[in-house]
Amino acid sequence: MPLPAKNNRINRPSIRDEVYTNLLDWIMEGVLRPGEKIVDKELASHMGVSRTPVREALRRLEDKHLVESSANRWTRVSEIPLKEPEMIYPIIWTLEGLAISTAVSTMTDQDFIKMDRANCELEKALKNADPVLASKADTEFHSVFIECSENFYLIKILQDLKIRFRRLEVNYFEGPAYAYSSIEEHKTIISALRSGDIELAEKTLRSNWKKSLERHRAIKRK
């Protein structure tokens, strides 16, 4: 079972949450691949904890359908359903459109600076062919206006959805020059939000997500 070379030992006070967060990150970033067998004893040894918090974390991940198990036989990372992008992406671009429409009146220059910075990080990651960092930068970009919506329920729903599609993003950003269009679309979104042009921001956002979905369809056809 592959594990990260860098081993950050876990602090005892937050052991349960840190074990869960570590496993979640490894699944989303492709360290633990779909179908990968998981051995709780190995994970516990690697993180320097007992098997109890690892088992608790695996149960939480199973509740989110990121891990599956057969009683007393095996535990593994869940496969990604072929139809998952088709089901998730339209929901996300619809809800993010709602977030943009409510965030525009609350956003400040500091928020736009954060979005610019995340977009620059995305460009660097793409040039370095680093899908994990590209995924993180893209998520950071979208997170700015989502948080600015100040709608707790909307933010929570989108966070839960994005846990599921982060694995898809890593695969998506493994492609060639497709994603450079995202950089320009992000710039358009920032400009539209600065000027208060909600219609242009939402239109560009939908285009950004639809191109991502088309990329997944193309990969599936190969």
Q: Are residues 96 and 201 in the same domain?
A: yes
Q: Of 156, 160, 171, 162, which Cα lies nearest the Cα of 215?
A: 171
Instruction: Give me 189's structure tokens.
Output: 């979104």
Q: Are residues 205 and 99 in the same domain?
A: yes
Q: Are residues 199 and 91 in the same domain?
A: yes
Instruction: Give me 44's structure tokens.
Output: 């516990």
Residue 20: inside a domain, yes or no?
yes
Which pLDDT does position 8 carry in this prediction?
59
Q: Are residues 48 and 100 in the same domain?
A: no
Q: Are residues 39 and 96 in the same domain?
A: no
Of 42 and 215, the one with more pLDDT: 42
Lowest mean pLDDT among 107-121, 127-141, 162-176: 162-176
Q: Are residues 43 and 132 in the same domain?
A: no
Q: Tell me, what CATH number does 57's domain have?
A: 1.10.10.10
Q: Are residues 88 and 73 in the same domain?
A: no
Q: Are residues 115 and 134 in the same domain?
A: yes
Judged against a pLDDT cut of 70, whether residue 163 lies above it is answered with yes
Task: Give CA separation, 179 vs 128, 175, 183, 206, in Å.
Answer: 13, 8, 7, 15
Specify the DSSP class assigned to residue 142: H
Final residue of a structural domain among 77, 92, 126: 77
Judged against a pLDDT cut of 80, whether residue 129 lies above it is answered with yes
Which pLDDT does position 177 carry in this prediction?
44
Domains identified in the chain, total number: 2
Average pLDDT over residues 8-18: 70
Specify the DSSP class assigned to residue 74: E
SS3 state at 222: coil
Q: Are residues 94 and 190 in the same domain?
A: yes
Binning pLDDT at 50, 70 and 90, where does residue 144 land? very high
Q: Print the domain residue range for 149.
A: 84-221
Judged against a pLDDT cut of 90, whether residue 33 lies above it is answered with no
pLDDT single digits (tens) 196-222: 999 999 999 999 999 888 877 777 666
Q: Of 221, 129, 220, which Cα lies nearest the Cα of 180?
A: 129
Average pLDDT over residues 86-104: 95
Residue 125: inside a domain, yes or no?
yes
Mean pLDDT (the chain, rounded)? 87
Of 134 and 148, the one with more pLDDT: 148
